[in-house]
Amino acid sequence: MNSIFENVRVGSDDEQFVGSVPPDRCLRRIDKCRRMLLIFAGYKPVVSPEVLKENICINIHYSLLPAYRGVHSTAWAILNDESYLGLTIHEINEYIDAGPIIHQYQVKNDFVSTFCDYLEGFNQYIELNLGRICKEGINGLLTPCV
């Protein structure tokens, strides 16, 4: 039986996570990828122009872009008493966290929950919705936001 996940490969700097994935499903070098959908989350290196040209690259960023680009974005939003926190799924371009926005999810800041509480909620949201969001994008049902 063929699975829609048959050609899915995982790339991560998280050794514990990579250790839980069968070795033949691990992606060791993104510079060798061609004509693939690459989904990044917590990936720190800048993606090369060649990889961007040859693939569809999207990123999961834990802030409501365009605010709080870069690292520690949710922590900065909490420290700055933002009314809403959230995550953005966006196309990667040559600029950091500046590509066209595909999808955003936001929650009201209750000013009680911790950084870890929000991250846990965002992780659950991604786990439950990323497949649907990618499928809608592939089927042309999502239009990047301006």
129 to 34, 72, 76, 108, 141: CA distances (angstroms):
25, 23, 25, 19, 15
Kindly indicate the confidence band of residue 19, based on its pLDDT and cuts at 50, 70 and 90: confident
Residue 143 lies in a domain: no
How many domains does the chain contain in total? Answer: 1
Residue 1: predicted pLDDT: 38
Q: What is the CATH number of the domain that holds 131?
A: 3.40.50.170
Cut 0.85: pTM above it: no
| Residue at 101 is within a domain | yes
Does the pLDDT at position 62 exceed 80? yes
Q: Is residue 7 part of a domain?
A: no
> For residue range 84-127, what is the model confidence (pLDDT) as tens digits?
999 999 999 999 899 999 899 999 999 999 999 999 999 999 98
pLDDT computed for residue 2 by the predictor = 46
**Bridge partner residues of 56 (DSSP):** 37
Bond from prior residue into 23 cis (ω within 30 degrees of 0): no
SS3 50: helix
- pLDDT (0 to 100) of residue 90: 92
> Is residue 74 one of the residues assigned to a domain?
yes
Beta pairing partners, 10: 26
53 belongs to a structural domain:
yes
What one-character DSSP code corresponds to residue 81?
T
Alpha-carbon distance of 143 to 23, in angstroms, equals: 35
Tell me what percent of the residues of the chain surpass a pLDDT of 70.
86
Q: Would you say residue 32 lies in a domain? A: yes
d(CA 109, CA 83): 5
Q: Show the domain range for 38.
A: 15-138
- The conformation of residue 84, written as its DSSP 8-state character, comes to E
